[in-house]
Amino acid sequence: MKVLITGSEGFIGKNLHLFLAEKKELQLFLSSRNTSEVELDSYLREAEVIFHLAGVNRPKAEKEFEEGNTNSTKQIVEKLTSINKNTTIIYASSAQAGIDNPYGRSKKQAEEILCEYQKKTNARVLIYRFPNVFGKFAKPNYNSVVATFCHNISRALPIEIHDPSKVLNLVFIDDILSEFYQRLVHSTESRELYPSISPEYTTTLQELADTLYRFEKVRTSLHISSVGTNFQRALYSTFISYMPINECQYNIPSYEDPRGRFVEMLKTESSGQFSYFTAPPGITRGRHYHHTKTEKFLIIQGKALFRFQHLVTKEYYEVKVEGEKPMIVDTIPGWTHDITNIGDNELIVMLWANEVFNRDLPDTFVAEITK
Q: What is the pLDDT of residues 192-212, one digit of tens each?
A: 899 999 999 999 999 999 999
Asked if the structure places residue 193 within a domain, the reply is no
Structural domain ending residue among the three candidates 74, 103, 130: 130
Better-scored residue on pLDDT, 67 or 114: 114
Q: Determine the average pLDDT of the residues in 47-71.
A: 84
Residues 338 and 359 in one domain: yes
CA distance 241 to 172: 13
Instruction: Determine contact, residues 106/66, Cβ cutoff 8 Å.
Output: yes
| CATH classification of the domain holding 122 | 3.40.50.720
Give the angle 264-364-252 at the CA atoms, nearest 5°: 10
CA gyration radius, the chain: 29
Asked if the structure places residue 195 within a domain, the reply is no
Is residue 194 part of the annotated active site? The answer reads: no
Structural domain ending residue among the three candidates 218, 251, 284: 251
Give residue 166's Cα distance to chain centre: 24
Give me the pLDDT at residue 143, please: 79
Residue 188 pLDDT more than 90? no
Structural domain ending residue among the three candidates 187, 222, 251: 251
Better-scored residue on pLDDT, 38 or 62: 38
Tell me which residue of 75, 178, 80 sits closest to 124, measured CA to CA: 80
Residues 11 and 89 in one domain: yes
Asked if the structure places residue 182 within a domain, the reply is no
Better-scored residue on pLDDT, 96 or 59: 96
Residues 75 and 158 in one domain: no
Give me the pLDDT at residue 189, please: 63
Give me the pLDDT at residue 186, please: 83
Q: Determine the average pLDDT of the residues in 98-110.
A: 91
Residue 30 pLDDT more than 80? yes
% of the chain with per-residue pLDDT over 70:
98
Residues 116 and 146 in one domain: no
Q: What is the mean pLDDT of the chain?
A: 95
Tell me which residue range forms the domain holding 46.
2-130
Give me the pLDDT at residue 190, please: 65
Residues 72 and 8 in one domain: yes
Domain count within the chain? 3
| pLDDT tens profile 304-333 | 999 999 999 999 999 999 999 999 999 999
Asked if the structure places residue 197 within a domain, the reply is no
Residue 100 pLDDT more than 90? no
Residue 56 pLDDT more than 90? no
| CATH classification of the domain holding 326 | 2.60.120.10
Give the angle 255-256-257 at the CA atoms, nearest 5°: 135
Residue 101 pLDDT more than 80? yes
Asked if the structure places residue 180 within a domain, the reply is no
Residue 63 pLDDT more than 80? no
Better-scored residue on pLDDT, 371 or 182: 182
270, burial (CB in 10 Å: exposed 0-12, middle 13-18, buried 19+)? exposed
Residues 96 and 34 in one domain: yes
Asked if the structure places residue 328 within a domain, the reply is yes
Residues 144 and 109 in one domain: no
Q: Which of 43, 103, 128, 289 is catalytic?
A: 103
Residues 290 and 347 in one domain: yes
135: left (phi over 0), alpha (psi -120 to 50) or beta: left
Give the angle 31-36-39 at the CA atoms, nearest 5°: 70
Non-local (6+) Cβ contacts of 120 within 8 A are: 81
Residues 66 and 109 in one domain: yes
Residues 162 and 269 in one domain: no
Give me the pLDDT at residue 47, please: 97
CA distance 54 to 8: 7
CA distance 123 to 207: 42
Give me the pLDDT at residue 276, please: 98
CA distance 40 to 61: 25
The 8-class DSSP code of residue 155 comes to T
Q: Determine the average pLDDT of the residues in 225-253.
A: 96
Give me the pLDDT at residue 191, please: 74
Q: Determine the average pLDDT of the residues in 170-175.
A: 98
Q: Residues, the chain, total?
A: 371
Residue 256 pLDDT more than 90? yes
Residue 98 pLDDT more than 90? no
Give me the pLDDT at residue 61, please: 80
Residues 227 and 299 in one domain: no
Asked if the structure places residue 196 within a domain, the reply is no
CA distance 83 to 46: 11
CA distance 5 to 113: 18
Residue 44 pLDDT more than 80? yes
CA distance 254 to 261: 7
Confidence of residue 303 (pLDDT cuts 50, 70, 90): very high
Asked if the structure places residue 192 within a domain, the reply is no
Instruction: Determine contact, residues 41/82, Cβ cutoff 8 Å.
Output: no
CA distance 268 to 218: 10
Residues 68 and 50 in one domain: yes
